[in-house]
Chains A and B, each alone.
Chain A
Amino acid sequence: MKNNTSLIFEKSVKGRKAFSLPGPVAKGKKPADYIPAGFLRSSLEFPEISELDIVRHYTNLASKNFSVDGNFYPLGSCTMKYNPKINERICAYEGFKDVHPLFPCKKVQGYMSLLKEMEKLLCMITGMDEFCLHPSAGAHGELLGLMLIRAFHDKQGNRRKKIIVPDSSHGTNPSSAAMAGYRIASIKSDRDGQIDLNELRNALDDEVAALMMTNPNTLGLFEDKILEIAGMVHEKGALLYYDGANLNPLLGLCRPGDMGFDVVHLNLHKTFSTPHGGGGPGSGPVGVKKKLEPFLPVPVIRREGDILTFDFNCPDSIGMIKAFWGNTGVILKAFAYITALGDEGLKKTGETSVLNANYLRKKLEEHYNIPFNKACMHEFVISVKDLASKGVHAIDIAKALIDRGIHPPTVYFPLIVEESIMVEPTETESKSTLDSFIDEMVQIRKEAEQDPGSLKNAPVNMSVKRLDEFKAARFPDVRYKAGKNNI
């Protein structure tokens, strides 16, 4: 009986049902009276299940998942902070949830003014001049940012073909640049884990459209030569792009716009506390300096007399990047978060994220090798290369943490550190939680040295043991089909 999570299809029994619907308006009429028989569906093999059994199915599935509400989740570069409950309640207000995007603007002035206000707040937080809230996620924001850069150079009559990315960058950076039609030039980091100015100088030619950077970078280090870098990039007529995945530690401290960045994307689902939803939805607003404003996607919110309206008539705009105007349900949670925290709250958030990361780093440095070990920002990177002789790898440490009820940090990223473990505790975790994590990490280290075999077996406390990913890719079973034995 316990935790029956066989597939929902295997629980189906003919004739059972959960749904209830009102009857048809005109008695005796059926679809065949209106639609040619050839257009009507012959069969649909969907499950047949009662309402309670549906609820129980998903309740059991939920119990097999780690989450921020249930577990410490120090996943580097993902900023898994607490998602305030009030924001979920706000999102459910009828005046937000049940509003059609094509309602006439005069009927949705609450939304229009909230979105306009949000644009302003994000400009103030980043030091940019204009913001577009449309992108659905960070990578979507990157794609938009690169399209804007392309439109800018095109307008200047100089297409330019290359985007420079550091070798420590997020995978989405080169991938978004390729999607926007650019070639990629990757540059190596220097001995301090920062952008190597010589490498950059050599890569910067007239074909370069932009340099994409994360600051602090994926090692959790602030790129302290940023003003020099911005100068070099601008001198060549290229633009500077800010990947906002790591903005959290800079809250209240400094702004990408003041560092010289021309285009910025943010991840509202990281820095601004909206939940990750098991992989999405996110929201990836893009901010620009004035010179890029004409190219922003339509529609743009403008004041027309007494009301705010959507302006679709922008001749230099790159067009639309999604249907409608953004993941508004996500944006309003982030708006509530910023409004609640205000200036001081945001500052304290940034500071505490830095304090927590450094506390963990300090406590773990006696037990683990930290290749770039100096004051970090919101995260730091451990290398367990030294355990390779015992046959223990980063993945083994990760799986051992799962057995201890902790969601593992990001492993094998950034690519420039071998056997890397990237730890980002965030500001919402208490000292007691951090101390427990330290204890577990110290114990795992001991185990790795004394009994490495036990780590190779982890996890043993979950519903499944280590899964065969090779088999999954070699013999893809990506859908259930009745009567077909997939495995």
Chain B
Amino acid sequence: MDYTPHGREDIRQMFESLKISSVKDLYSNIPEKIRIRSYGIAEGISEPELRGVLEKFAGMNSSVKNLKSYIGGGAYEHFIPAVIDDICSKPEFYTAYTPYQAEASQGILQSIYEYQSMICELTGTDVSNASLYDGATAAAEAVLISIDKYDEGTVAISSAVNPMYRKVIETYLKSSHCNIEIVEHTEGITDVSRIERQISGKLISFISQSPNFFGCVEDVKALSDYVHDKKALSIVIANPLSLGILEAPGRNGADIVVGEGQPLGIPLCFGGPYLGFMGVKKELMRRLPGRIIGRTLDKDGKKGFVMTLQAREQHIRREKATSNICSNQALMALRAAVYMVYMGKEGMKEVGALNICNSHYLAEGVEKTGKAVLKFKKPFFNEFVIEFKKDAEEVFKIFEKENILPGAQVKEAGRNSILCCVTETKNKNDMDEYIEIVRKL
């Protein structure tokens, strides 16, 4: 199968116009030496056969629909309203390109302007870009902003930041002149006094996460106040779904708020495509990476939307651009926008409250069994670390028999500990079953 349209007569006419007898006549300047006969890959197949092949691959995967998963760790199972799939499968959105031609792209441009507005409101920042690849690269780009601003110094990261994010930041910084210091957490929370003790050189940015990798809510205000004392930037990685109920980091002093937008209506899909969001304070606007949509007027004075502040971007500035990003995650930003509009003012609060109440129900129930404890006694959102008295491997096996994945095995959590996540997708029966299994350990 292929998707070329020409019939025999089309080709005859086109050949005649070009005065050729074969497409090969157009290849005369391609060295014979490098031409190939075939790739040696399989022959093509029809659409019904293709379905069969891909169904087989899909059938070899477990999904959150056929086993009960309490795994989070950077990607989260949430309820996805049907309107999102419907709206985002409109071909006018998903088969369009980057809105370089504004007059033919007002739909996508306005939707992203609205997305930016909601990200600003949610995070408590002044300016948002149109999206980045994912939460981890957004965190790395945030650190690059601090390097752009201060040139060199120390970038400090809390050890309670998702280890994958830390790795990505390290990779992005390899060619910079800055050194990275990891500040160990105390009892699941970033400890300001440790930053003070540990960092000797000039601090240019401090990166924390709230709720952090262990699920605990950080004191963003205390952290940001300290960082500002040192004349550095406070970068906070946040779970956007938590911000319906938890205070916006920007209102607590964060200069840059980034994170993974996946919880806002984006399917798990084995890790991508997701959505990196970034909101910053006004004074950092011209250092933002990636596209920004702005509102302006047309010739007749009518409101409309364009890509703006493009003097920061690679297609204009080339090697002097603030980032090399070109394609972003626009369709995922649209999903997030529709999610935020659908949940609205009350829904964002309610879904946040459900996550807090459900996760605490399970945590309390597990602790009451006496077979496990909560490792960190700190306020948490929808994740928490459970430390079992039994060997964690064995615990996993017991849960697996019931078709349950009780959490993520993460070495950062310590021995016999798992990172457990509870969202609005779990009901009382699910959690009582979980607690019962722990009781019987």
Rounded to whole angstroms, the CA-CA distance of A39 and B242 in the bound complex is 11
Q: Which of A139-147, A197-205, A446-454 forms contacts with chain B?
A: A139-147
A467 to chain B: which residues have CB within 8 Å?
102-103, 296-298, 304-306
Interface string of A106-141 (1 = CB under 8 A from B): 011111011000000100110000000000111110
B96 to chain A: which residues have CB within 8 Å?
65-68, 276-278
A480/B168 contact (C-beta < 8 A), A139-B325, A279-B327 known = no
- B272/A64 in contact, CB under 8 A: no
Rounded to whole angstroms, the CA-CA distance of A215 and B347 in the bound complex is 51
- A469/B171 in contact, CB under 8 A: no
- A46/B348 in contact, CB under 8 A: yes
- A326/B298 in contact, CB under 8 A: no
A340/B271 contact (C-beta < 8 A), A63-B107, A65-B96, A478-B293 known = no
B29 to chain A: which residues have CB within 8 Å?
222, 224, 375
Chain A proximity of B407: nearest CB distance (Å)? 10
Residue B387 at the chain A interface, CB threshold 8 Å: no
- B346/A326 in contact, CB under 8 A: no
Residue B91 at the chain A interface, CB threshold 8 Å: yes
Tell me which of B11, B43, B271, B303 contacts A342 (CB under 8 A): B43
Chain A proximity of B200: nearest CB distance (Å)? 25
- B95/A98 in contact, CB under 8 A: no
Residue B414 at the chain A interface, CB threshold 8 Å: no
B199 to chain A: which residues have CB within 8 Å?
none
Tell me which of A54, A78, A92, A179 contacts B83 (CB under 8 A): A54
- A7/B50 in contact, CB under 8 A: no
Chain A proximity of B232: nearest CB distance (Å)? 22
Residue B332 at the chain A interface, CB threshold 8 Å: yes
Residue A86 at the chain B interface, CB threshold 8 Å: yes
Rounded to whole angstroms, the CA-CA distance of A113 and B71 in the bound complex is 22
Residue A235 at the chain B interface, CB threshold 8 Å: no
Chain A proximity of B20: nearest CB distance (Å)? 8
Interface residues on B, range: 35 or more
Rounded to whole angstroms, the CA-CA distance of A349 and B17 in the bound complex is 20
Tell me which of A64, A89, A92, A281 contacts B106 (CB under 8 A): A64
- A328/B272 in contact, CB under 8 A: yes
- Across chains A and B, the number of contacting residue pairs, with CB separation under 8 Å, is 694
Residue A188 at the chain B interface, CB threshold 8 Å: no
- A138/B103 in contact, CB under 8 A: no
Interface string of A320-356 (1 = CB under 8 A from B): 1111111111101000101111111111110110110
- B39/A124 in contact, CB under 8 A: yes
Tell me which of A104, A279, A345, A359 contacts B291 (CB under 8 A): A279
Closest to B98 in A: A279
Rounded to whole angstroms, the CA-CA distance of A253 and B37 in the bound complex is 7
A466/B298 contact (C-beta < 8 A), A279-B328, A324-B75 known = yes
Chain B proximity of A197: nearest CB distance (Å)? 15
Residue B89 at the chain A interface, CB threshold 8 Å: yes
Residue A393 at the chain B interface, CB threshold 8 Å: no
A121 to chain B: which residues have CB within 8 Å?
41
- B247/A41 in contact, CB under 8 A: yes
Residue A95 at the chain B interface, CB threshold 8 Å: yes
- A114/B246 in contact, CB under 8 A: no
Tell me which of B38, B298, B324 contacts A468 (CB under 8 A): B298
A429/B334 contact (C-beta < 8 A), A42-B247, A281-B272, A339-B50 known = no
Rounded to whole angstroms, the CA-CA distance of A349 and B44 in the bound complex is 12
Residue A294 at the chain B interface, CB threshold 8 Å: no
- B104/A46 in contact, CB under 8 A: no
- A227/B315 in contact, CB under 8 A: no
Rounded to whole angstroms, the CA-CA distance of A138 and B105 in the bound complex is 22
Chain B proximity of A169: nearest CB distance (Å)? 9
- B273/A136 in contact, CB under 8 A: yes
CB under 8 Å from chain A, chain B span 406-434: 408, 424, 426-428, 431
What's the tally of chain A residues with a CB closer than 8 Å to chain B? 198
Tell me which of A17, A45, A328 contacts B270 (CB under 8 A): A328
Residue A193 at the chain B interface, CB threshold 8 Å: no
- A340/B114 in contact, CB under 8 A: no
- B93/A67 in contact, CB under 8 A: yes
- A324/B271 in contact, CB under 8 A: yes
CB under 8 Å from chain B, chain A span 390-435: 398-399, 402, 407-408, 410, 413, 427-431
- B306/A40 in contact, CB under 8 A: no
A39/B329 contact (C-beta < 8 A), A320-B171, A343-B38, A478-B292 known = no
A323/B131 contact (C-beta < 8 A), A17-B344, A362-B18 known = no
Rounded to whole angstroms, the CA-CA distance of A178 and B105 in the bound complex is 31
Chain A proximity of B77: nearest CB distance (Å)? 7
- B97/A34 in contact, CB under 8 A: no
Closest to A92 in B: B85
Tell me which of B91, B294, B341, B424 contacts A478 (CB under 8 A): B294
Residue A363 at the chain B interface, CB threshold 8 Å: yes
B86 to chain A: which residues have CB within 8 Å?
55
Closest to A179 in B: B324
Residue B338 at the chain A interface, CB threshold 8 Å: yes
Rounded to whole angstroms, the CA-CA distance of A249 and B300 in the bound complex is 43
- B247/A95 in contact, CB under 8 A: no
Rounded to whole angstroms, the CA-CA distance of A354 and B26 in the bound complex is 8
CB under 8 Å from chain A, chain B span 165-182: 165, 167-168, 170-172, 174-176
A279 to chain B: which residues have CB within 8 Å?
97-99, 108, 130-131, 291, 327-328, 330-331
Chain A proximity of B391: nearest CB distance (Å)? 16
Closest to B289 in A: A179
Rounded to whole angstroms, the CA-CA distance of A427 and B36 in the bound complex is 20
- B342/A19 in contact, CB under 8 A: yes
Of B55, B329, B379, chain A has the most CB atoms within 10 Å of the CB of B329
- B424/A22 in contact, CB under 8 A: yes
- B39/A125 in contact, CB under 8 A: yes
Closest to B294 in A: A472
Closest to B310 in A: A473
- B298/A100 in contact, CB under 8 A: no
Tell me which of A48, A150, A408, A478 contacts B346 (CB under 8 A): A48
- A318/B171 in contact, CB under 8 A: yes
A98 to chain B: which residues have CB within 8 Å?
63-65, 77, 267-268
CB under 8 Å from chain B, chain A span 175-217: 175-182, 184
- A41/B75 in contact, CB under 8 A: no
Interface string of B44-72 (1 = CB under 8 A from A): 11110011011111111111111101010
Rounded to whole angstroms, the CA-CA distance of A112 and B317 in the bound complex is 39
- A99/B63 in contact, CB under 8 A: yes
Of B97, B251, B302, B321, chain A has the most CB atoms within 10 Å of the CB of B97
- A325/B246 in contact, CB under 8 A: no
Rounded to whole angstroms, the CA-CA distance of A418 and B40 in the bound complex is 43
Chain B proximity of A228: nearest CB distance (Å)? 10
**Beyond A277-B94, A407-B104, 8 extra complex contacts between A and B, CB < 8 Å:** A19-B342, A21-B351, A55-B86, A253-B30, A276-B98, A320-B136, A359-B17, A473-B309
> Nearest 6 CB-CB pairs, A to B?
A181-B175, A324-B271, A95-B58, A342-B44, A110-B60, A277-B331
A-B contact pairs, 24 of them (CB 8 A): A41-B243, A41-B244, A61-B111, A69-B91, A86-B51, A95-B61, A96-B269, A99-B269, A109-B61, A110-B59, A111-B270, A142-B324, A178-B319, A224-B30, A252-B39, A255-B34, A279-B131, A323-B260, A342-B45, A355-B14, A408-B101, A431-B13, A463-B103, A466-B298
